[in-house]
Amino acid sequence: MIDVSAFNEALGIMFSSVGSWGWIVPGLIVGLVFSAIPGISITMAMAIVLPMSLYMDFFSAIVFLTSVYTGAGFGGSVPAILMNIPGSPSSFATTFDGYAMSQKGEHNEALGYALFASTLCGIAGYVLLLLVIEPLADIVLRIGPVEMFAVAIWGMMLLGSLGSTYISRGLLAAALGILLGTVGMNTAGFTRGTLGLPVLLDGIAPIPAMIGLLAASQLLSLASRDYIIEAEGSREVSLRKILKGCWGTLKYPGVLLRGSIIGIIIGAVPGVGSSIGNLIAYAETKRTAKDSATFGKGNPKGVIAAESAVASGEGGSMATMLALGIPGGGATAILIAAFMMHNIVPGPSFIETQKPMVYAIILNNIVQAIVLLAVGIGFIYVASNIMKVRTRYVLPAILVIATLGTFAVTGEAAGPITLFVFALLGYALNRYQYPVSAVVVGILLGRMLETEFLRSYQLSGGNPLYVLERPGAMAIFAVMFISLGMTAWGKRKQNRAEAAEALALRQIQEETRAAHTTPSKG
């Protein structure tokens, strides 16, 4: 639990280095702008500013970098909501309901919901982190391949809630995605499907592939319109409506809480990153919601669920980094490097000897989340103006920026080529009504599914009863099946009720018809 004297010292560090607070706003803006550009991920944004932070003193550097991280956690949802193109993989689930809302002319509200969910759960994540950083770190180390495999399966369940006209095509698309996700050298050192290209040894780069798949279909469908939203009256940018969305978030405490818990736990697991938490949080919220039929058609709960998991995942990821010196994802790997460049090695000894500093970093993150509220409102107010620009100007600009973004990672043509190939694939999938999002989920989860399944197999020596030795994995599977069973039961009851209702309605109709027809007979 919290160490009071260290906490007081942490406040001292915070207030004695007020100069470093000046880095919060620039950091947030850098994070927001970079992550709102499709094709540039949080990791990349941080890699770009890392060398800059070398010239700052330690606390300023950490404040600046974590501010970029906090800002980037939200920025990706702006293009997701306005254009159906996620700025980074972690805002993929935000597109499902966010874009649907903006098509209904509720983009202001949707952005408000996303921002508030993001900041509130970001704060919640860090507060929890302040309390349980050490026990959490120990639990995280105990999570093994079987548990991770269970989590990956859970992520795949999202497919069921994506909805498509044909089940068979949905499954086929998911299978294709998983296959694409396993291209490259696997964890046992076998190389598959690289076509002899060295760049594919590390697998297909997920960001250009995702942007290609989603953006191509989206941009082509937008090209036939004059503006992103067709109804002229809905294209307004309204501060009042943004604030209304912000306020509206508070009506769904259950969704916020569930998203935060899922986000923190998944974010804390090393090597998973934030791109899976949002998928699971969305799927779970949809499954348990009474109005699940309206998900994907512009239900604010969908936006809130996805964003809450992304933001709280940052706290989880930060916990693993500080307590164990292990990066939860690419962005925290950069943060570790920044620590080391300032002669500090995060890990168990760092937390023991420098607890005030750890608390100061966490507290500063809470401050950042609060500042993000103000900066974020300004940012979405400016960004929403894209709605007023004709698509003929917006689309080419987005294509050029996305291509540059994918090129910027390594400075190799591999990024843009991946983007182009997957854009063609995305177009073909759309043309024949295969759900593109199922392919994306497959690409994001395929590698993890395979790796963890393989490791579970190796660890157990092929004995399936090994799962009985892993209570954690059994608990995850149990929760998953119970939640599935309850949904199925609920659906059955609902179907029955609906059938009964329909029957009653038909009877009434028949009776009235009979009542109308009988007299004419006579």
CA 304, CA 288: separation in Å to the nearest integer?
14
Contact between 409 and 205 (Cβ < 8 Å): yes
CB of 142 to other proteins, least distance (A): 5
H/E element holding 446?
Answer: helix 436-460
Contact call for residues 359 and 130 (beta carbons, < 8 A): yes
Q: How far apart are CA 81 and CA 303, in angstroms?
A: 9
472 is a site residue for other proteins (CB under 8 A): no
Total number of residues binding other proteins (CB under 8 A)? 49
Which CB, 193 or 271, lies closer to other proteins? 271
State the minimum distance, in angstroms, from the CB of residue 98 to other proteins.
31
Q: How far is the CB of 1 from other proteins (least distance, A)?
A: 21
The answer to whether 285 and 278 have CB atoms below 8 angstroms apart is no
Percentages (nearest 5) of helix, strand, coil residues in the chain: 80, 0, 20
Among residue numbers 442 through 471, which ones bind other proteins (CB under 8 A)? 451, 454-455, 458-461
Q: Does 50 bind other proteins (CB under 8 A)?
A: yes
> Taking each helix axis from N to C terminus, what angle separates 300-324 and 274-288, rounded to the nearest 10 degrees?
140
Contact pattern from residue 69 through residue 108 relative to other proteins, giving x for each residue in contact according to CB under 8 A and a dash for the rest: ----------------------------------------
Give the whole-angstrom CA distance, residue 260 versus residue 118: 10
Looking only at residues 10 through 29 of this chain, which bind other proteins when binding is defined by CB under 8 A?
Answer: none
d(CA 425, CA 279): 23
Contacts of 162 by beta carbon, 8 Å cutoff, 6+ apart: 96, 170, 296, 435, 437, 438, 441
For other proteins, the closer of residues 208 and 296 by Cβ is 208
Long-range contacts of 507-516 (CB under 8 A, 24+ apart): none
CB closer to other proteins, 271 vs 396: 271
Q: Which of 185, 239, 243, 401 binds other proteins (CB under 8 A)?
A: 185
Instruction: Among 26, 144, 160, 163, indicate the residue that binds other proteins (CB under 8 A).
Output: 144
Sign of CA dihedral 143, 145, 146, 152: positive
Q: Which of 131, 141, 223, 500 binds other proteins (CB under 8 A)?
A: 141
Contacts of 77 (CB under 8 A, 6+ apart): 86, 87, 91, 94, 98, 111, 114, 118, 303, 306, 307, 310
**Please, what is the angle between helix 355-383 and helix 4-16, to 10°?**
50
Q: SS3 of 57, please? A: coil
Distance, CA of 87 to CA of 33 (rounded, Å): 10
Note whether 516 binds other proteins by CB under 8 A: no
Minimum distance from residue 359 beta carbon to other proteins (Å): 20
CB-nearer residue toward other proteins: 344 or 421? 344
* Beta carbons of 125 and 256 less than 8 angstroms apart: no
Of 54, 293, 468, 482, the one binding other proteins by CB under 8 A: 54
Site string for other proteins, 392-431 (x = CB under 8 A): ------------------xxx-------------------
Contacts of other proteins in 475-514 (CB under 8 A): none
* Residue type present at position 175: A
- Which ranges constitute the DSSP H helices of 143-166? 145-156, 158-162
Query: Between residue 208 and residue 267, which ones bind other proteins under the rule CB under 8 A?
Result: none
Options 61, 82, 117, 143; binder of other proteins; rule CB under 8 A: 143
Closest CB to other proteins among 142 and 240?
A: 142
Nearer to other proteins, 122 or 203 (CB): 203
Query: Least distance in Å: CB of 118 to other proteins?
Result: 25
Site for other proteins in 297-356 (CB under 8 A): 324-327, 333-334, 336-338, 340-341, 343, 345-350
Q: Which of 18, 168, 195, 198 binds other proteins (CB under 8 A)?
A: 198
User: Which of residues 141 and 504 has its CB atom nearest to other proteins in the complex?
Assistant: 141
Q: Which residues bind other proteins (CB under 8 A)?
A: 47, 50-51, 54, 140-145, 185-189, 198-199, 201-202, 270-271, 324-327, 333-334, 336-338, 340-341, 343, 345-350, 410-412, 451, 454-455, 458-461
